Amino acid sequence: MELTTVWFIIIAFLWTSYFFLEGFDFGVGMLLPVLGRDDVERRVVINTIGPVWDGNEVWFIVAGAAMFAAFPEWYATLFSGFYLPLLAILLALIIRGVAFEYRGKSDDPRWRARWDKAIFWGSLVPAFLWGVAFANIVRGVPLDADHEFVGTLTDLLNPYALLGGLTTMILFVLHGAVFLALKTSGDIRVQARRVAGIAAVAAVAAGGSFLLITQLQHGKPVTWLTAGGAAAALLFAAAANGRGREGWAFIGTGTAIVLAVATLFTALFPDVMPSTLGAANSLTTENAASTHYTLTIMTWVAVVFTPIVMIYQGWTYWVFRKRIGTSHIPVREPVK
């Protein structure tokens, strides 16, 4: 197998891991005002992802760095052509990270309410725009003969891309609701399961439509399997959630995300960014790649360090595996 293909698969794996892990983070953030009816409940919701959210974002950084090193032409075209959406994502992630850290710095309800809004919008904006971005990558964008993006922001806001954004947003809400049901106890757990049931219906409708359009317009024979598997996983998650089997429901939503991302990357290959102005202008795994020597060094680095990162992150989840509820939140003493 060519190293360019190997690194395309590695990058697909990195993005898949990011969406699987950060997906429920985004979902929890978007559900904060829904399931957190008072400060104690909001602290429970936030604490479910408190130990892991920053570790989950590492996959985004690594995925971006891998694209820069392995496919610099892809990275340059993507980050210049999608500058405004990606800038919005980065600003949202920064504000969200600050909100997690600063929310508890004051007992003033207005102070906390502002940071709660920052967590909500800092989760919703990336959840939506990542879907818009990847839908455009698969669909193709206007690239000239020099592989430069020659379109405008309105070109990126096409119906297919907006449906992709809606799909990821709803799917992450479902993923987050199931995660909250898995990680909490008491009334929050009950309400999270209820929200998951509603979100599952919306996710099946939006996700099924998006995957079907993707398959009909850009798919390959093999992607019928991944797209169909993603739809089946969503239905399985909905059924498991209805029976109160949160663990199986989480496996279902996670599998749906993995197979949906696999559908997009498989449909994309061997292109990394198709051009709507002609196939000759498209970026591929060959014309966008670094040198063979660079890819060889990167491969050895990935072989050594990827298992270490996965083992460490798995250990983190194991340590913080227990459920939490309002009884675990200490009562704050009033400031005298």
C-alpha distance from residue 299 to each of 13, 96, 167, 181, 323 (Å): 14, 33, 33, 39, 38
Across 40-44, 61-65, 143-147, 170-174, which has the greatest mean pLDDT? 170-174
289 in any annotated domain = yes
315 in any annotated domain = yes
Give the integer Cα–Cα distance in Å for 73 and 289: 7
Give the integer Cα–Cα distance in Å for 100 and 280: 46
Which residues is 189 bridged to in the sheet?
none
Residue with tokens 């008072």: 38
Which has the higher per-residue pLDDT, 306 or 178? 178
Q: Give which of 150, 151, 164, 141 is closest to 274, Cα–Cα.
A: 141
* Statement: residue 179 has pLDDT above 50: yes
226 in any annotated domain = no
* Statement: residue 331 has pLDDT above 90: no
Number of folded domains that form the chain: 1
Banded pLDDT at 335 (limits 50, 70, 90): very low
Question: What does the pLDDT average to over 320-326?
Answer: 85
* Statement: residue 261 has pLDDT above 60: yes
Residue-level pLDDT at 69: 92
* Residue ranges making up the domain that contains 40: 3-172+268-328
Instruction: Look up residue 282 and give its two tokens.
Output: 């498209």
55 close to 201: Cβ distance less than 8 angstroms: no
Give the integer Cα–Cα distance in Å for 76 and 58: 21
196 in any annotated domain = no
Question: What does the pLDDT average to over 216-241?
Answer: 94
316 in any annotated domain = yes
Instruction: Look up residue 246 and give its two tokens.
Output: 């949160």
79 in any annotated domain = yes
Residue with tokens 């106890």: 185
- Window from 104-108, 225-229, 263-267, 282-286 with minimum mean pLDDT: 104-108
Residue-level pLDDT at 332: 61
Q: How many Cβ atoms from other residues are within 10 Å of residue 74's Cβ?
A: 24
Q: How many Cβ atoms from other residues are within 10 Å of residue 211's Cβ?
A: 25
Instruction: Look up residue 210 and give its two tokens.
Output: 């998006």
* Statement: residue 336 has pLDDT above 70: no
pTM of the model: 0.92
Q: Could you report the per-residue pLDDT of 105-162, keeping only the tens digit for each?
A: 888 889 999 999 999 999 999 999 999 999 999 999 999 998 899 988 889 999 999 9
Banded pLDDT at 333 (limits 50, 70, 90): low
256 in any annotated domain = no
Mean pLDDT, all residues of the chain: 92
Which has the higher per-residue pLDDT, 218 or 37? 218
321 in any annotated domain = yes
Give the integer Cα–Cα distance in Å for 271 and 214: 15
